[in-house]
Amino acid sequence: MDQQTPPPAPTADTLAFDRLMTARHSCRAFRPDPLPRATIEAILTIAQKTASWNNTQPWQVTIASGAARDAFRDLMVSQAIGSGSPDSAGAKPDADFPFPREYRGVALDRRRACGFQLYDAVGVARGDKVAYARQALRNFQLFDAPHVAIITTEEPLGVYGAVDCGAYVSNFMTAATSLGVATIAQAALAVHSKAIRTHFGMGEDRRVVCGISFGLADVAHPVNAYRTARAGLDEVVTWVE
Ligand SMILES: Cc1cc2nc3c(=O)[nH]c(=O)nc-3n(C[C@H](O)[C@H](O)[C@H](O)COP(=O)(O)O)c2cc1C
């Protein structure tokens, strides 16, 4: 490859796409205002164009709003902390997909860095486990978002079904950004996959990949004020010529 050739001039599409990718970030404080159904449908229509293995389109999307969202949030909180009485613990985790076994090397460094950014933003001191737990609970309160989407794949499609759903989640979030809608993907919700299946009456062959809480960002909230970094190409690309 000729390393002297200057990069191609970006097209308007390149610039628009890069702007959206740069603007999207995980929102962890939402305003309560519900979105119009037409806005949600516009996001879903774009995300529906996601590529998938043999065009299987394994994603199914359950969207809870209003009272249904409140009931789901209450379920998630009770799964996370139990009934709230001092002797009650939360439900045992039963995620459909195994969570990371171990964080090593740069993965561990990056995980720590984004965790500290979050804690610094909300004034949580290093090592304050009670405050860590309080912040973790915000996941199950859906960060006060007015809507939550649960993304499931189909069990027989295996890991590639989940990969396709991951692409769908990404496209959902980018499409939402283009409409001024804030999002956060939430694997935390998938910790209680079976309870989610039961609550929404999903088929036994559905597998919960993650949730996406979404709505309008509370832009004044400090938790939304920081942005995470990305590694340079030199850290991730191997050129073979
Ligand atoms: C599949 C997936 C699951 C995630 N699950 C959670 C979660 O449960 N809770 C949370 O606070 N953030 C969650 N995140 C957000 C990541 O922490 C976030 O994307 C990452 O730190 C990069 O920050 P950014 O989204 O602001 O660019 C998840 C992201 C992805 C892609």
Specify the long-range contacts of residues 159-164, CB closer than 8 Å, at least 24 apart.
Answer: 160/53, 161/53, 161/56, 161/58, 161/207, 162/97, 162/207, 162/209, 163/53, 164/50, 164/51, 164/52, 164/53, 164/56, 164/57, 164/58, 164/59
- Which of 183, 200, 197, 180 lies closest to 143, judged by CA? 183
pLDDT score of 157 more than 80: yes
- 96-113 tens-digit pLDDT: 999 999 999 999 999 999
Q: What is the pLDDT of residue 113?
A: 97
CA distance 140 to 129: 17
pLDDT of 90 reads: 82
pTM reported for the whole predicted model: 0.95
pLDDT digits over 16-26, tens only?
999 999 999 99
Q: Residue 234, CB half-sphere, CA atoms under 13 Å: how many?
A: 0
Among 20, 26, 139, say which to mutate for ligand 1: greatest number of ligand atoms within 8 Å of CB: 26
Do 147 and 214 touch, CB atoms closer than 8 A? yes
Quote the mean pLDDT of the chain: 95
Domains of the chain (ranges; CATH) run 24-83+90-99+141-218 (3.40.109.10)
Region of 82 on the Ramachandran plot (φ > 0 left; ψ -120 to 50 alpha; else beta): left
The span from the CA of 237 to the CA of 234, in Å, is 6
- Check pocket membership of 187 for ligand 1, CB cut-off 6 A: yes
pLDDT for residue 3: 66
Q: Is the CB of 76 under 6 A from ligand 1?
A: no
Quote the pLDDT of residue 192.
96
Percent of the chain with pLDDT over 70: 96
Element (H, E) at 147: strand 147-154
Residue 149 confidence class, pLDDT cut points 50, 70, 90: very high
Q: Shortest CA distance to 138 belongs to which of 154, 118, 120, 158? A: 118
| Protein residue with its CA nearest to atom 10 in ligand 1 | 186
Banded model confidence at residue 88, pLDDT cuts 50, 70, 90: low
Q: What is the pLDDT of residue 4?
A: 76
The helix-helix angle for 158-178 and 37-47 (nearest 10°) equals 130
pLDDT, position 150: 98
Q: Convert the pLDDT of each residue in 195-223 to its tens digit.
A: 999 999 999 999 999 999 999 999 999 99
Q: Are 226 and 117 in contact (CB under 8 A)?
A: yes
Q: Atom 7 in ligand 1: which residue has the minimum CA distance?
A: 186
Q: Does 210 contact ligand 1 (Cβ within 6 A)?
A: yes
Atom of ligand 1 nearest to the CA of 138: 11
Confidence bin at 7 (pLDDT 50/70/90): confident
pLDDT at 87 over 70: no
Q: Work out whether strand 60-65 and strand 147-154 pair parallel, antiparallel, or are unpaired.
A: antiparallel
